């Protein structure tokens, strides 16, 4: 018997709101949750949309059911949220780094305490497996903890000048920053953008993807509970129109966007009108190069991790797998054998390793890439078809079987374009020089990887690959301590690591004269 829907109503005290929604999670299962809470957040509380028109349904990917309605914010609401953030920024910027750090550490602690509940809600809205979602939530609190540790270290320089004069620099916040998130890592991206912003003394207005509006507001409530000034992290819902309002708003100092290349270009163009700083984390078509002297077992595991996490909906995935010709047959045999047994199904079950894709149109698009690949001469070794799990409640879900393509050429659509689904294209190569040239022959440059036992080759290849990250003998690990970002059309600016502080702050030079003015006049 199907459990009755768990309805989650707005109107509770703001501090207990995060609890009310999350507290139903332990008993929730796929196909039972309905979200009726307001999804906007500013001034320290959830905010009811001013009007209900243009509401869009948000789906539960595993069942195809409507999970909630997303009502896009209009100009007055965006303005209200930004003003709320600006008021909070004026208080927050005056606090010492150590004071900000204590609040952020408390937020990290609360997330850690509620990780199972947050992960479950993330799965219901996004479709990825619970095993992966738990890791995402852990990375989120680790990111906030990491930048809390950096908040107290922000400092300038002292420079001695002639005649006893001196200068010093101050690292100052930018003001109100806008974060625009993607649907593949909804909660984690909200943390990746807000943590460095808050550590530097900024406020943030965050717009989640219209397909995954549910968990960013949980982060807003957690920051409030941890003690940030009301309005410091606001959430506005909507699609392109709301994004445009944010990019054009005169009180916004910076925009950090994660998403596709075409949208990234538009964000940059709109932000340029107000000379706003921009960080762009865009798409990829990353190469993974496997040499014949690799540790074979690790290379196979690496290729699977590089293609099938989050149903293949990961921007840094290594979707062009170049395998040295001598080991190509056994590589394909082993990869296909393991791909065929990946458990696809209910994302809330611990045994599931691949959940549902984000939406029906996206599933159809990915399947379209597979049929296009066949037309162009690629050979489907396994998968690439709609998948219907045995559980009847999942029959409307957006599932497909993970796919491996052989007989690929560099000029095929499946090798050139970002598919953003569980499709691995495997290509043979002969020499190191040849494969580097082929790997770099793309407009993207987000990530790359190489498997080899030859230490000189590993570093040589890493140096020559045109990408923001190169993994050696592993793939798709993203520790918060190291910078992440793109080369070429994959974007610029960085997230994570110490360097990101520079993207959320600005430098003021103060020059102090201790003697008389030496004037020409």
**Which residues are known to be catalytic?**
281
Same domain as 274, residue 301: no
Same domain as 296, residue 241: no
> How much is the pLDDT for 298?
98
Task: Judge whether 520 lies within some domain.
Answer: no
> How much is the pLDDT for 25?
95
Q: Under a CB-based contact definition with an 8 Å cutoff, are residues 276 and 307 in contact?
A: no
Task: Judge whether 498 lies within some domain.
Answer: no
Same domain as 387, residue 253: no
Same domain as 297, residue 268: no
Residue by residue, DSSP assigns 468-496 as S--EES--S---TTS-B--SGGGEES-BS
End residue of a domain, out of 282, 313, 337: 282
Same domain as 293, residue 278: no
Residue by residue, DSSP assigns 171-213 as EEE-SEEEEE--SSSHHHHHHHHHHHHHHTT-EEEEE--TT--
Overall size of the chain counted in residues: 521
End residue of a domain, out of 232, 260, 282: 282
Same domain as 315, residue 392: yes
Same domain as 438, residue 298: yes
Residue 330, domain extent: 287-478
Could you state, in chain order, the average pLDDT of each consecutive group of 10 residues for the chain (521 residues)?
42 50 93 96 97 94 98 98 98 98 98 98 98 98 98 97 97 98 98 98 99 98 98 98 98 98 98 98 98 98 98 98 98 98 98 98 98 98 98 98 98 98 98 98 98 98 98 97 98 98 98 96 97
Residue 44 belongs to a domain with what CATH number? 3.40.605.10
Task: Judge whether 293 lies within some domain.
Answer: yes
Distance CA 25, CA 303 (A): 34
Q: Model-level pTM? A: 0.95
Q: How many domains does the chain have?
A: 2
> How much is the pLDDT for 21?
82
Task: Judge whether 193 lies within some domain.
Answer: yes
Same domain as 245, residue 295: no
Same domain as 319, residue 203: no
Distance CA 336, CA 383 (A): 9
Q: In what order do the strands lie in the sheet with 158-160?
A: 158-160, 166-173, 505-512
Same domain as 305, residue 265: no
Same domain as 145, residue 237: yes
Residue 362 belongs to a domain with what CATH number? 3.40.309.10
Task: Judge whether 245 lies within some domain.
Answer: yes
Same domain as 291, residue 277: no
Q: At CA 185, angle to CA 181 and CA 187, rounded to 5?
A: 75
Task: Judge whether 359 lies within some domain.
Answer: yes
Task: Judge whether 518 lies within some domain.
Answer: no
Task: Judge whether 499 lies within some domain.
Answer: no
């Amino acid at each position: 018997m199907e459990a009755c829907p768990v309805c989650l109503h707005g109107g509770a005290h703001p501090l207990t709101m995060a609890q009310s929604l999350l507290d139903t999670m332990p008993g929730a299962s796929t196909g039972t949750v309905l979200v009726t809470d307001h999804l906007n957040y500013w001034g320290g509380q959830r905010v009811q949309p001013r009007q209900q028109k243009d509401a869009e349904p948000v789906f539960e990917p595993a069942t195809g059911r409507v999970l909630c309605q997303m009502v896009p914010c209009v100009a007055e609401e965006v303005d209200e949220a930004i003003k709320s953030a600006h008021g909070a920024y004026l208080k927050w910027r005056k606090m010492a780094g150590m004071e900000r750090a204590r609040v952020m550490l408390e937020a990290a602690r609360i997330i850690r305490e509620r990780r199972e509940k947050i992960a479950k809600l993330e799965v219901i809205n996004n479709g990825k497996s619970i095993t992966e979602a738990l890791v995402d939530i852990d990375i989120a609190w680790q990111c906030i903890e990491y930048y809390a540790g950096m908040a107290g270290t922000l400092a300038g320089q002292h420079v001695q000048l002639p005649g006893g004069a001196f200068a010093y620099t101050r690292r100052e916040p930018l003001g109100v920053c806008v974060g625009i998130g993607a649907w593949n890592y909804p909660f984690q991206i909200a943390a990746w953008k807000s943590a460095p912003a808050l550590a530097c003394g900024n406020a943030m207005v965050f717009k989640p993807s219209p397909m995954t509006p549910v968990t960013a507001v949980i982060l807003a409530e957690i920051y409030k509970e941890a003690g940030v000034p009301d309005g410091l992290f606001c959430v506005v819902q909507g699609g392109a129109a709301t994004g445009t309002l944010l990019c054009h708003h005169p009180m916004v100092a910076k925009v950090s966007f994660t998403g596709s290349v075409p949208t990234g270009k538009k964000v940059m163009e709109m932000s340029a009108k107000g000379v706003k700083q921009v960080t762009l984390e865009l798409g990829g078509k990353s190469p993974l190069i496997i040499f014949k002297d690799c540790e074979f077992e690790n290379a196979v595991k690496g290729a699977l991790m590089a293609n099938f996490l989050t149903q293949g909906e990961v921007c840094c995935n290594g979707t062009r797998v170049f395998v040295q010709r001598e080991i190509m047959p056994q590589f394909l045999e082993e990869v296909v054998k393991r791909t065929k047994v990946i458990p696809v199904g209910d994302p809330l079950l611990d045994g599931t390793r691949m959940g549902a894709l984000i939406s029906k149109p996206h599933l159809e698009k990915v399947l379209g890439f597979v049929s296009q690949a066949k037309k162009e001469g690629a050979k489907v070794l396994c998968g690439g078809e709609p998948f219907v799990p045995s559980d009847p409640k999942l029959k409307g879900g957006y599932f497909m079987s993970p796919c491996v393509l052989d007989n690929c050429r560099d000029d095929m659509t499946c090798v050139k374009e970002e598919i953003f689904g569980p499709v691995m294209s495997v290509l043979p190569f002969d020499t190191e020089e040849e494969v580097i040239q082929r790997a770099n022959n793309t407009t993207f440059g987000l990530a790359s990887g190489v498997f080899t036992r030859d230490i000189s080759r590993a570093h040589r290849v890493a140096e020559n690959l045109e990408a923001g990250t190169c993994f050696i003998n592993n793939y798709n690990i993203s520790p918060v301590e190291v910078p992440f970002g793109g080369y070429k059309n994959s974007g610029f600016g960085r997230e994570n690591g110490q360097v990101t502080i520079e993207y959320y702050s600005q430098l003021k030079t103060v020059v102090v004269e201790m003697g008389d003015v030496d004037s020409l006049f």
